[in-house]
Structure 1
Amino acid sequence: MKKENNSMEKTMNIEGMMCGHCEATVKKALEAVDGVSEAVVSHENGTAAVKLEKPVDDSVLRKAVEDHDYKVTGIN
């Protein structure tokens, strides 16, 4: 049986999130990006785990977050 794994995941390091409201803002911004199926955001860890349905350029993910005045310090 062939196992297909088309999902991709990136972890973003984000500075400036202080609360649950910040998490919700970043989550909504990332999930609005074409190709993003889910974003799990933690203001405590300063991270967003982004699940992708198709390749999305890091610059697009960075812009979605930084347009809301948070700073992306890395994407893996």
Structure 2
Amino acid sequence: MKYTIKTKGLMCGHCEATVEGALFKVAGVTGAEADHDTNTVEVECGANVTPEQLSAAVDGAGDAYEALSVSAE
């Protein structure tokens, strides 16, 4: 599955790495690429991963980050 997460709070490469790292901790996530210019994260994962898990991972990455929406591609 592929998802696009619209986020709030990505401002630099360090922010991208923090959110990507949090997403990789979700079992089943095989790819995560954050882009602070567009405030989005492209995620590749197994079918067992839910949008709620991805949203919670972004929100849990730190106080500065928030998942606004998660949409399947």
TM range (shorter): 0.7 to 0.9
Unpaired runs of at least 5, structure 1: 1-7
The TM-score, its normalising length taken from structure 1, stands at: 0.85
CA distance in 1, matches of 2:70, 2:57: 13
Per the alignment, residue 72 of structure 1 pairs with: 67
**Deviation per residue, 1:35-70 (Å, 9 max, x gap):** 100101101110000001232111111111101221
For 2:22, what is the secondary structure of its paired residue? helix
Which consecutive segments of 4 or more residues in structure 1 shift more than 4 A? none
My pick for the range that moved more, 15-24 or 58-67, is 58-67
The TM-score, its normalising length taken from structure 2, stands at: 0.88
Aligned length: 69
Coordinate RMSD, CA, aligned: 0.9
Structure whose alpha-carbon radius of gyration is higher:
1
